[in-house]
């Protein structure tokens, strides 16, 4: 069984052990170079936000972290292991320690919420009794604030609730690292802020390290201990949100101005929309 990471040490994140280390990572699709030398560290119990425009390679980056895509060059260490040199069984074992919350919630529509949560648990953890499975399902549902939804079908849930169940299904394996791909995409501002709050609660309660991929600046500001911007295939400006956005670099100020103007427009348009 996977154990939870050790509790947050009372130190600055960069003084804690590194759980993800990326050096000189490159990835091209045909002639198109998407990642051109990405460097990034994530420390124990730290939330790192990766910001970037659509198509900048954010999802490619986290798919490389869990071995769904292979890098062209560079080194990727996750929990001390070189992801792309691992034999199949060791990669599967590593993936059980890393929760991947997909850009779409990817729930099984024919299963109710309880069954959606039981599935990864019984597939990946041997020897749990029916009672232990039920306890873990309930604990994960409580962690995302949806304790009463056990019997509901995915089609009966709102967009925000589906996201929460997707996160609960990832948490049920008690991962040491969480990877969130666009956790607030398509959600209204109130539901988005609830998801941001949930990401912070997961970090505090489970002491997970996280990478949060987003182009939502509110999400970045609320959840990121540090923020990194993926631009032209490299990480630009890694630091706290305020440090990064106090930069005079026009590529950073341009991203900020574009997103806040654009976000306001999007939010005004979506008011009264999806809940």
Ligand X SMILES: Nc1ncnc2c1ncn2[C@@H]1O[C@H](COP(=O)(O)OP(=O)(O)OP(=O)(O)O)[C@@H](O)[C@H]1O
**Which pair of tokens denotes residue 25?**
């990572």
Q: Smaller CB distance to ligand X: residue 58 or 97?
A: 58
Least Å distance, CB 7 to Mg ion, is 32
| 138 contact partners, CB below 8 Å, separation of at least 6 | 147, 150
**Site for ligand X, residues 36 to 95, rule: CB under 6 A:** 52, 54-60
CA distance 12 to 74: 27
Least Å distance, CB 60 to ligand X, is 4
Q: Which does 57 bind (CB under 5 to 8 A by kind): Mg ion, ligand X, none?
A: ligand X
**Site for ligand X, residues 165 to 224, rule: CB under 6 A:** 215
Q: Smaller CB distance to ligand X: residue 57 or 99?
A: 57
Report if residue 140 touches ligand X, rule: CB under 6 A.
Answer: no
Q: Smaller CB distance to Mg ion: residue 59 or 101?
A: 59
x/- mask, Mg ion, residues 16-55, rule CB under 5 A, reads ----------------------------------------
Least Å distance, CB 38 to ligand X, is 12
Report if residue 29 touches ligand X, rule: CB under 6 A.
Answer: yes
Q: Smaller CB distance to Mg ion: residue 181 or 225?
A: 181
Report if residue 59 touches Mg ion, rule: CB under 5 A.
Answer: yes
| 13 contact partners, CB below 8 Å, separation of at least 6 | 43, 44, 45, 46, 225, 226
Least Å distance, CB 63 to ligand X, is 8
CA distance 143 to 136: 10
Sign of the torsion angle spanned by Cα atoms 8, 9, 10, 12: negative
**Which pair of tokens denotes residue 55?**
């198509």
The helix or strand, by DSSP H or E, that contains position 235, with its residue range, turns out to be: strand 234-239
Q: Give me the DSSP letters along 77-141.
A: EETTEEGGG--HHHHHHHHHTEEEE-SS----TTS-HHHHHHHHHHHH-TT--HHHHHHHHHHHH
Side by side, the strands of the sheet bearing 81-82 are: 32-43, 18-29, 73-78, 81-82
User: Which of 204, 250, 247 has the alpha carbon at shortest distance from 227?
Assistant: 247
Q: Smaller CB distance to ligand X: residue 119 or 256?
A: 256
Report if residue 184 touches Mg ion, rule: CB under 5 A.
Answer: no
Least Å distance, CB 200 to ligand X, is 22
Least Å distance, CB 260 to Mg ion, is 20
Report if residue 34 touches ligand X, rule: CB under 6 A.
Answer: yes
**Binding-site ranges for Mg ion (CB under 5 A):** 59
**Binding-site ranges for ligand X (CB under 6 A):** 29, 34, 52, 54-60, 215
């Amino acid at each position: 069984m996977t154990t939870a990471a050790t509790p947050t040490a009372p130190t600055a994140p960069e003084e804690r052990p590194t759980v993800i280390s990326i050096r000189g990572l490159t990835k091209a699709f045909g002639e198109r170079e998407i990642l051109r030398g990405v460097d990034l560290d994530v420390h124990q119990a730290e939330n790192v936000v990766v910001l970037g425009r659509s198509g900048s390679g954010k999802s490619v980056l986290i798919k490389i972290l869990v071995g769904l895509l292979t890098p062209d060059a560079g080194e990727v260490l996750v929990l001390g292991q070189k992801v792309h040199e691992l034999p199949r069984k060791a990669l599967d074992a590593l993936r059980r320690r890393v929760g991947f919350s997909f850009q779409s919630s990817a729930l099984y529509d024919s299963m109710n919420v309880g069954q959606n949560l039981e599935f990864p648990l019984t597939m990946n953890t041997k020897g749990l009794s029916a009672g232990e499975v039920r306890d873990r399902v309930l604990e994960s549902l409580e962690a995302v604030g949806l304790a009463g939804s056990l019997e509901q079908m995915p089609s009966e849930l709102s967009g925000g609730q589906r996201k929460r169940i997707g996160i609960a299904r990832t948490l049920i394996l008690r991962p040491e690292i969480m990877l969130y791909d666009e956790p607030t995409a398509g959600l209204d501002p109130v539901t988005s802020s609830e998801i941001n709050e949930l990401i912070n609660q997961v970090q505090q309660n489970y002491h997970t390290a996280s990478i949060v991929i987003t182009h939502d600046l509110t999400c970045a500001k609320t959840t990121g201990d540090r923020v990194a911007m993926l631009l032209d295939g490299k990480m630009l400006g890694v630091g706290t949100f305020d440090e990064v956005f106090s930069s005079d670099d026009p590529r950073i100020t341009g991203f900020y101005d574009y997103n806040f103007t654009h976000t306001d427009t999007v939010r005004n348009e979506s008011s009264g929309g999806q809940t």
